Chain A
Amino acid sequence: MSYLTALVLAVGFGVPLAALTASLAQARVGAAALEGMARQPEAAARLQFAMILGLAFIESLVIYALLIFFVLMLKLPNTADVLGKIAGP
């Protein structure tokens, strides 16, 4: 039973944790890019390009977590089966 509990907790908490930290990091990237664009509007295009790149990099780390989520999700058992086992013969 504890294996399934751990599995469900991992499935539930994996992506949200990654999303939490990634959103903080992306906020910093966005803030730095915006500050640079405000200081020097003629460099806005280059800054925007670099910002998009930085955001995609950070997002790809969340995608790795999403991949693990997909793998673990396929290992979750059927709710009907588990309830049947708990209920007993």
Chain B
Amino acid sequence: MHAEGASSLAGEHGSWLHFLYQLGVPKWVEEPVLNCWFLILVLGVGLYLATRRLDVLPKSLQNFLEWVVEELQNFTVQIMGPQGKVFVPFIGTLFLYIALMNILGLVPGFLAPTSTLNTTVALALCVFAATQYHGIRTRGLWGYVKHLWGEPFWLGPVMFPIHMLEEFIARPLSLAVRLFGNIFGDDTVIARLGGVAVLNVLLGSYFVALGAFTFLVQAFVIWLAVIFALAQALVFATLASVYIAGAIIEEE
């Protein structure tokens, strides 16, 4: 049983939300997505309750949340310019949501919702839809096509397919796969290390030291995974804001 645990991929271990499958959730909904619903519930209800009565002179929790929002606003405006203030909710939500989703996978008993392509492709599609919508809304349909055509008019037939490929395939795909690969890889490594550590400790006398060492390595990898979780959220939010800025900013 423990050898099985040591040799299976991370996605095959479950979370405590597994009971939802007995309650009628269909089988094609993967378990990380159940964790996603849990996080949405906790975040939504929690933050709604936290912002019900806002004081003019904020106390501890409200102060912290205001600091978070202010930092997100600075971050977005820094990349997109002063017109980026409208996008702070979107970019800020992306950053916070993805960071919390990534870290949720490191909490015992949960799976990271971003460790499945379902979640990451959904997020990448949101960014794709946002860039296309804002680009077309700001420039008009013909203006957006001209933007994809490129600046030297005679280079258009070369740049236009490249830009189309980039906008429709390369950017969403790379966003999704980057986030998925990082988080799924981290979680897989941590699960495997844990399995190997348990296996070694259970094997016998001389293997216990190896097991203890593997536990230490796993602890270090978990710390690294926290840092990478935040970094990946930052990268996703930065790229999203850069793409939207590229779609709406008129370079004169």
Chain A residue at minimum C-beta to C-beta distance from B175:
A60
Contacts of B238 in A (CB 8 A): 53
B232 within 8 A of A: yes
Complexed CA–CA distance, A52 and B231 (Å): 7
**Are A53 and B181 closer than 8 Å at their CB atoms?**
no
Nearest CB to that of A62 among chain B residues? B181
B181, A64: Cβ atoms closer than 8 Å? yes
Contact residues in B for A52 (Cβ distance below 8 Å): 231, 234-235
Q: How many A-B residue pairs have CB under 8 A?
A: 32
* Partner pick for A66 among B174, B185, B232, B235, CB 8 A cutoff: B185
B229-248 near A? 1/0 per residue, CB < 8 Å: 00110110010000000000
Residue of B nearest to A69 (CB): B185
A55 to B182, CA, bound (A): 13
Residues of B within 8 A of A38 (CB): none
User: Is B106 an interface residue when CB atoms closer than 8 A count as contact?
Assistant: no
**In the complex, chain A residues 34-85 whose Cβ is within 8 Å of any chain B Cβ:** 52-53, 55-57, 59-60, 63-64, 66-67, 70
Query: CA of A52 to CA of B232 in the docked complex: distance in angstroms?
Result: 10
Q: Which residues of A contact B134 (CB under 8 A)?
A: none
B177 on the interface (CB 8 Å rule)? yes
The answer to whether B181 and A56 touch across the interface, beta carbons within 8 angstroms, is: no
A67 touches B235 (CB 8 A): no
Please, which residues of chain A bring their CB within 8 A of the CB of B177? 60, 63-64, 67
B185, A56: Cβ atoms closer than 8 Å:
no
The answer, yes or no, to whether B178 is at the interface (CB within 8 Å) is yes
User: Do residues A67 and B181 form an inter-chain contact, with CB atoms below 8 A?
Assistant: yes
Please determine whether A63 and B178 come into contact, CB atoms closer than 8 angstroms: yes
A-B contacts, 9 listed (Cβ < 8 Å): A55-B231, A56-B178, A56-B231, A56-B232, A60-B174, A60-B235, A63-B178, A64-B181, A66-B185
